[in-house]
Amino acid sequence: MVKKFHPLVELAKETVESYIREGKTPQPEELTPEMKERAGVFVSIHKHGELRGCIGTFEPTKDNVAEEIIANAISSATRDPRFPPMAASELSDLEYSVDVLTKPEPVENASQLDPRKYGVIVESGVRRGLLLPDLEGVATVERQIEICRLKAGILADAPVKLYRFQVERFK
């Protein structure tokens, strides 16, 4: 039996498989209503339950969600600096999720955050770190902010601006 995925996840999966196997970028024939919207999108790829790639945009950079998914799926598979580019031999072991983000909003302080409900952006000068919400092993706001600081190279005592956003997660 072939597992049926949400159309956004199917697009991410098809994109990675086409790009890795053939070097081709697919163009969807028909856009679902949610693909026509404009939003930031993250594509996360896991292999045997472990993160294998995750790249995204926190604000829209393309004309629609479909184009964001295509660009970020390719980047997740080939340009995540934490991992080597994916090989065709891995494709059958991969699981995908797509997060569509709401527009980030500034918050006054950490008390307005919730690691289950909100993703967070930590900003200091030109440095920015982002963490999606509801991630395994990230149970506190403090941990969320700490990870963002590490990702962005922001010192622990540097003053920061905080932003929150929500996601609709598709698997």
**pLDDT for 27-69, tens place per residue?**
888 899 999 999 999 999 999 999 999 999 999 999 999 999 9
What global pTM score does this model have?
Answer: 0.92
Give the least confident one: 24-28, 42-46, 130-134, 142-146. Answer: 24-28
All structural domains of the chain: 7-101 (3.30.700.20), 105-170 (3.30.1490.150)
* The predicted structure's pLDDT at residue 2: 59
pLDDT in tens, 13-33: 999 999 999 999 998 888 999
Answer whether residue 3 shows pLDDT above 80.
no
| C-alpha of 118 from chain center | 14
Tokens of 19: 């790009």
Of 91, 8, 79, whose CA–CA distance to 47 is shortest? 91
